[in-house]
Amino acid sequence: MRKLTLSLLTLSLGVALLPLAQAATTPAQEHLLEQVRLGEASNREDLVRQSLYRLELIDPNNPELIAARMRYLLRQGDAAGAQKELERLTKLAPDSPELKASRNEMKSNTGEGRQALQQARLLGVAGKVDEAIAAYEKLYGGVPDDVDVAIEYWTLVARLPARHSEGVSQLKKLNASAPGNVSLLTSLAKQMFADNKPQEGFAYLAEMARSASGRGIAADMWFSEVKACR
């Protein structure tokens, strides 16, 4: 009788927890998370905002949702709100990759971290590529995990002759995992044209032209390259 009671209790608990386990992998949720990434990549804050709202209704404690909302608040200049989301994520998912990435995101957007990121960018603009790469790695404890900063980092790496192939390869991997990012497509297109691979370069421009935010940039680059080929 005791075994039967335990079995029934286990079954009941499993049934009760099943919706929670399934919620993290529902097609609707995956679609909305993809919409958030697309909105971030194409600078469509309206799409990000709408998708976050709908995700909140499905699973308010999802770490990816909380991390995305923190990024959104940072972009809106609401550092206090972003900090609250980070604290919430720390409690709900202390060992998650989302927490690590979010901490780095917060660090690079506030206080000394922001200054350090600006310094790394200035070093890159000044042509001090090795120093810039080292500054990024010091700030992030290695390769940056934030997509936008990773684009900057690997674009710099690609400027080093000895690591050019590695940098381009990593940029292509980023594009496969986060398609539609205008900055990333711009960098890849420039890399392809510089490497005398115009067919690949124009393919990236065509991909960029599919978004409203990238259409103008793609057109300008397209005409410049066509003019240069004459």
Positions in the chain whose pLDDT score sits under 50:
1-24
Is 103 in the same domain as 116? no
The confidence score (pLDDT) of residue 206 equals: 94
- What are the angstrom distances between the C-alpha of 207 and each of 141, 149, 171, 180, 218? 33, 21, 15, 7, 9
What's the total number of domains in the chain? 3
| Cα torsion 175, 181, 184, 187: sign | positive
Is 105 in the same domain as 31? yes
The confidence score (pLDDT) of residue 16 equals: 38
What residue numbers bound the domain in which 186 lies? Answer: 179-229
Among 65, 88, 109, the domain-final residue is 109
Is 184 in the same domain as 146? no
pTM for this prediction: 0.73
Q: How far apart are CA 172 and CA 156, in angstroms?
A: 14
The confidence score (pLDDT) of residue 8 equals: 38
The confidence score (pLDDT) of residue 25 equals: 57
The confidence score (pLDDT) of residue 229 equals: 72
Question: Could you count the other beta carbons within 10 Å of the beta carbon of residue 16?
Answer: 9
The 8 Å CB, 24+ separation contacts for 115-120 are 117/149
Q: Is residue 8 part of a domain?
A: no
